[in-house]
Amino acid sequence: MHVVVTREQGYNDPLTSWLPEGVTVNEVALTTTRFFDASEVLAALRASDDYGTFRALVVTSARSALYVALTREGLVDGGTVLSVGSATARALESEDIDVDVVGDAGAVDLAPEITEGPVLLLGAATMRDDLTVALQSRGVKVTPLTCYETLPAVLTTDEERILRAADVVFIGAPSAWLVARAFISANSWVVVPGATTGEVVRRQHERVIEGWGPALREHLLAL
């Protein structure tokens, strides 16, 4: 079995730990991340009309975890911290941030857990709007706060070849799928972390496995 992991260098170790023994693994980074300066993010937060009154902080990705400590000053005392996905929750815990609610099925899964605003949404420059739309439909005010942007990688001919030959490809986000989709065989299995990315990939690819974790080992052995 030929497996390709596609997160940036240094982020693939958890993925490879879930693979069966004896598989061939290649790394092909599909995106790069530009993190914003902390002072820039903090200035944007303090410029918000709702600074100091946010009742909930929604952290949309593990990459956002680095900024949570400084953005919490925008919350009211006792404000709720919510995480999109278990990977984000683990990243927050590694930064000694207590998570009150984890949405395992994607951002919109958190909507029923948020009863009042304003809500601070921390994440990438291209955050999905599912949760924002769901909350605003109930009159809950949502303010996005951008702390990084994801940029598409330019693949080499060899990297394109590796993707085409893969039996299994890990795709961590819609932005990664946009880079990879032209090079993924219809016979390849695409493994995604959750429902949000799974929905995007399924629009163009049939073989999708949803859910990252240790249980993947048995699932891949059964293919």
- CATH number of the domain where residue 98 is located: 3.40.50.10090
Q: Quick check: 3 pLDDT over 80? A: yes
Interval 140-165 mean pLDDT: 95
Number of domains in the chain: 2
Task: Give the pLDDT of residue 219.
Answer: 86
Q: Among residues of the chain, what percentage have pLDDT more than 90?
A: 58
Domain of residue 199, residue span: 2-30+153-221
The last residue of a domain, from among 106, 131, 149:
149
Task: Give the pLDDT of residue 105.
Answer: 63
Share the mean pLDDT of the chain: 91
Task: Give the pLDDT of residue 86.
Answer: 79
Does the pTM surpass 0.75? The reply is: no
The last residue of a domain, from among 149, 174, 204:
149
Does residue 50 share a domain with residue 13?
A: no
Q: Quick check: 220 pLDDT over 90? A: no
Interval 7-36 mean pLDDT: 92
Question: Which pLDDT tens digit goes with each residue over 57-71?
Answer: 999 888 899 899 899
Q: Quick check: 194 pLDDT over 90? A: no
The last residue of a domain, from among 149, 178, 196:
149
Task: Give the pLDDT of residue 106.
Answer: 67
Task: Give the pLDDT of residue 144.
Answer: 95
Does residue 215 share a domain with residue 142?
A: no
Task: Give the pLDDT of residue 221.
Answer: 84
* Integer Cα distance of 165 and 157 in angstroms: 13
Question: Which pLDDT tens digit goes with each residue over 171-184?
Answer: 998 889 999 999 99
Does residue 203 share a domain with residue 158?
A: yes
Question: Which pLDDT tens digit goes with each residue over 72-120?
Answer: 899 999 898 988 877 788 888 888 888 888 887 667 778 888 888 999 9
Considering all CA atoms of the chain, what is the largest pairwise distance in Å, rounded to the nearest integer? Answer: 55
Q: Among residues of the chain, what percentage have pLDDT more than 70?
A: 99
Does residue 66 share a domain with residue 50?
A: yes
CA distances from 37 to 12, 65, 127, 143, 153 (A): 25, 14, 18, 19, 22
Does residue 17 share a domain with residue 48?
A: no
186 vs 213, which has greater pLDDT?
186
Does residue 84 share a domain with residue 71?
A: yes
